[in-house]
Amino acid sequence: MDYKQAGVDIDAGNAFVEAIKPSVKSTFIEGVLGSIGSFSGAFRLPSGYKKPVLLGATDGVGTKLRLAIDAEVFGSVGIDLVAMCVNDLICNRGEPLFFLDYYATGKLRADDAKAVIDGIALGCREAGCALIGGETAEMPDMYNAKDFDLAGFAVGIAEEDEIANPPRLEAGDVLIALPSSGLHSNGYSLARKLLFEKLRMKLDDPFDGATLIDVLLKPTEIYVKRFKAHKNRVKALAHITGGGISENLPRSLSEGVRAVVERKAIRSQSIFELMSQYVAQDEMFRTFNMGVGMIWIADKNDADAIAASVGGYAIGHLEAGERSVKFV
């Protein structure tokens, strides 16, 4: 017997690496050392920092992958993978430097995998970071033939003083919502259960001017460029992922303040309005982003200008109290 008979095709894996090299190289920025294919990726720390600190973030795409596999639409989940990691980094004031991915499957389908990597490369270019390495694992008997899983790893940089001494949050500061593109990459287990099992909807059903699968596979927004443009005026950031506003916003608050969020001010999307007919409001808000991809906290004197510049809008404010979220 040989490895190929056991289900692992080394030659196909090598050919795949060659096929993705142009996409990977398209993400290279100043600081990248070497090229794809070595045992690890290398990146030179940028100059100009007084006390540079490296930040790391890792995430996946969750059961959104199930929909991508069933629909055979693969590029958007690569963008999701990058977005989920780099959007976390900027919440700790880290600017992304480089990214690595892990792609595991039962049987390497080169065209599908390349579409995923192309999406990852597109996400990296949008985030301004380099894709400097990754791993493709072909594991028969671990996954069904068409199934695969993804994990991403992002590294960023920040000044130590910015992390140790963040801007002081005060009563009266404004909560700015940055719109999401939809569900992003959270809550899909509930969404799939409701839409496809309970409501018996189909992937190609017309919905909100498109098809349902188009709406559900919209890639996660990447907010890095907007953060860089307003870094010095934004006091705090919260990436609204699993757990929704109620669980993610408190992570960005300091002691002595609580967030007051006006539910009616949130500009939700049709997909959330549909699901809200069958899921309790509190459950919706602790599972989905409800149309809010990030929340930025800014001084009331800066909030209007920031919101107008990034396509955001006010959904509440801070007040004195225990660190928490109060919906009104």
Domains recognised in the chain with CATH numbers: 10-164 (3.30.1330.10), 174-327 (3.90.650.10)
pLDDT band, very low/low/confident/very high, at 59 (cuts 50, 70, 90): very high
* pLDDT score at 11: 81
State pLDDT tens for residues 88-128. 999 999 999 999 999 999 999 999 999 999 999 999 999 99
Is residue 133 pLDDT above 90, yes or no?
yes
pLDDT band, very low/low/confident/very high, at 8 (cuts 50, 70, 90): confident
* pLDDT score at 10: 79
Give the predicted TM-score (pTM) of the model: 0.95
* pLDDT score at 116: 96
The token pair that represents 118 in the structure block:
């192309």
Is residue 5 pLDDT above 90, yes or no?
no
* pLDDT score at 79: 98
* DSSP-derived pairing of the beta strands 148-159 and 52-59: antiparallel
